[in-house]
Structure 1
């Protein structure tokens, strides 16, 4: 832990949680919700809330008990991500990326590597940040006697600034090979910039990073077997896509819940309505019916995909291309459905809440802003194209960092 991190941690309150992981997630969500509006306006790094997530013990949910973890499933994790996203989609994203990084270690590293790093994560309650951006190839790895020296820039490094470890990527000089490594966040040569100031997901710390002669030892490379070495290693992108799906879903559930509360308490009957009270207005009932139907379909698709991921994960290296392909179809269908449903609901929720719900004090627009920013990171058109290719031509999505 860095000196800065130690000083910050010493000033933060300790948070007590109890119960099952799902019960703890609900307690944590309530804590996050209490300051979500103010923190959305402020942006920056939410140190206290991130410390609360550390205190919850949930950072080791997926790690097996034999390695010191809680032994949770992917289906359970996605439920927790959804619970947190209802309250705060920024913190849900940073929390979820902990497990995308752990999945990267498991899928790309050797048995000795992933077991050691997972055990260390559980033992020391480590938080992993992301500096693996396959679309940003500005970081170059130059071979050295003991490994590599990484130099360059990287964008969209979500969760990096308050992390203990980073997953980083670089392009090998001369060969163009894509390298992935696990390193301490505090190592010399890493500068994480506080330059994330987008309209949504404002506390994900998704700013940029500079690497200046970052020394990476050979044993820190996650290249045995490495990316896309098998259908099993190709699960990383599907883990990520289902993370997106459940954050979108939880975010939209949170928006709809707030809309219902506001409609019941504050929305007025329109002058042209024949209803005596707003809860009997036929158009408001119609819109809520549409919202519920689309969101319920999204829940069913997301839960089915999570169950399929658990089954695929258990297959390990026995996983076939066809099994991986079937999972990809299920994940993409779920993601496409909630992307459209979520953008619709977070925009049209004001039609059932009314003009007064647009007051800046409530910041109800944060749901749409968060979803709009997040969905643009991975355009849904390409997932729909993949689904069309499967339906028309019987072609599974080709494994990549996004498919």
Structure 2
């Protein structure tokens, strides 16, 4: 497998497709192995796609959200673990833009664009085990563990978080190699096996005042509260991409198969039952595509409004994304489970490892309960109330 040539004249979607084709060659095997996909992460670094969401003023490409989500979705068709950590990289860059000011993040963005830095995540607001102690006006100590730290291993910059004695969440950006930071490598779940989503440990890690995101801070304004909605929309495109990848594999497989022995036709593609299954898959996929497109458009509009975004405008984005999230969750689980119905018993062999599509979406769709997305949309329908901003809505 050769490294992709740097062709910045190619569209980001074309570059992502080139990466996806390479990732697909080893995806089944790497899924079994688990662990850190260092080689593949370096291919993403070399591709130039890590600067996609960085504004041009800092040396990035300043792409719109539609382009960014397209690349996540394309990579997810081949490898949802790599799409996950790649998508989170762009989420973390957006987090800094939303929670801080240009004079603080300018150097981080310039470094990322120039040196192809990969960002890692240790922001888990539900895990309170990392505590923060202020030891001077300019210095803080982070100590403790943090779970579900996707993309943390092999990252260059780390978004870290902890709670101070008053219970306030503090978020900072530090070099991953800072003294006291370590990773347990204990991610052993049934899906998303190469996301390095295990435990990070902070052993008296020093974080400086200028590294903390305090202005305007986490979820402090309607605009800064777009952060969780971007995360949810990453999941939408992750699930959609996995479902499309499973659909494409099933379609290619069936084209080479004979129909069932008692069918009235010779080839599987002419079997009306097989045709019905594929029609169901297609309708579900097309529904998610349209809902995702609408959600991206609402996010892009809100992003361009910026600091003047109102709570009502933010609420419109949240409903559009929650609707797409429901559809993407249901469609991806349905398709990745039912492709076996059209491919037959041979598709269940361990060598093919096709169940990885279902395992990956089943694992990632549990990030936050889909029941609460139904509740949010239902409450809005009946009362007009939009979801209250949180790290999950």
Q: Which residue of 1 aligns with 2:285?
A: 295
Whole-Å separation in 1 of the counterparts to 2:256 and 2:265: 16
Whole-Å separation in 2 of the counterparts to 1:14 and 1:188: 32
User: What is the Cα deviation at residue 393 of structure 1?
Assistant: 1.1
SS at match of 2:387: coil
Q: Does 1:361 align with 2:351?
A: yes
1:102 to 68, 80, 93: 93
User: What is the Cα deviation at residue 14 of structure 1?
Assistant: 4.9
Contact in 1 for aligned 2:160/2:171 (Cα 8 Å) = yes
Whole-Å separation in 2 of the counterparts to 1:221 and 1:276: 66
Aligned residues: 390
User: What is the Cα deviation at residue 300 of structure 1?
Assistant: 0.6
1:334 to 324, 344, 351: 324
User: What is the Cα deviation at residue 13 of structure 1?
Assistant: 6.9
Contact in 1 for aligned 2:4/2:18 (Cα 8 Å) = no
1:321 to 311, 314, 336: 311
Structure 1 residue runs of 5 or longer lacking an equivalent are 1-11
Q: Which residue of 2 aligns with 1:343?
A: 333
Q: Which residue of 2 aligns with 1:56?
A: 47
Q: Which residue of 2 aligns with 1:8?
A: none
SS at match of 2:189: coil
Whole-Å separation in 1 of the counterparts to 2:55 and 2:223: 18
Contact in 1 for aligned 2:182/2:202 (Cα 8 Å) = yes
Q: Which residue of 1 aligns with 2:222?
A: 231
User: What is the Cα deviation at residue 277 of structure 1?
Assistant: 1.9
Q: TM-score, normalised by structure 2?
A: 0.97
Whole-Å separation in 1 of the counterparts to 2:307 and 2:20: 36
Q: Which residue of 1 aligns with 2:145?
A: 153
What does the per-residue CA deviation read over 1:125-151, in whole Å, with 9 as the maximum and x for residues that have no partner? Answer: 111000000111110001111221011
Root mean square deviation of aligned Cα: 1.2
2:103 to 82, 100, 112: 112
2:240 to 241, 249, 253: 249
Alignment of 1:2-401 (within 5 A): 14-18=3-7, 19-145=10-136, 146-173=138-165, 175-266=166-257, 268-401=258-391
Whole-Å separation in 1 of the counterparts to 2:177 and 2:299: 33
Whole-Å separation in 1 of the counterparts to 2:109 and 2:379: 37
Whole-Å separation in 2 of the counterparts to 1:133 and 1:254: 29
Contact in 2 for aligned 1:30/1:87 (Cα 8 Å) = yes
Q: TM-score, normalised by structure 1?
A: 0.95
Contact in 2 for aligned 1:17/1:27 (Cα 8 Å) = no
SS at match of 1:214: strand
User: What is the Cα deviation at residue 244 of structure 1?
Assistant: 0.4
Whole-Å separation in 2 of the counterparts to 1:23 and 1:154: 36
Whole-Å separation in 2 of the counterparts to 1:38 and 1:218: 44
SS at match of 2:281: helix
Whole-Å separation in 2 of the counterparts to 1:224 and 1:276: 67
User: What is the Cα deviation at residue 272 of structure 1?
Assistant: 2.8
User: What is the Cα deviation at residue 110 of structure 1?
Assistant: 2.0
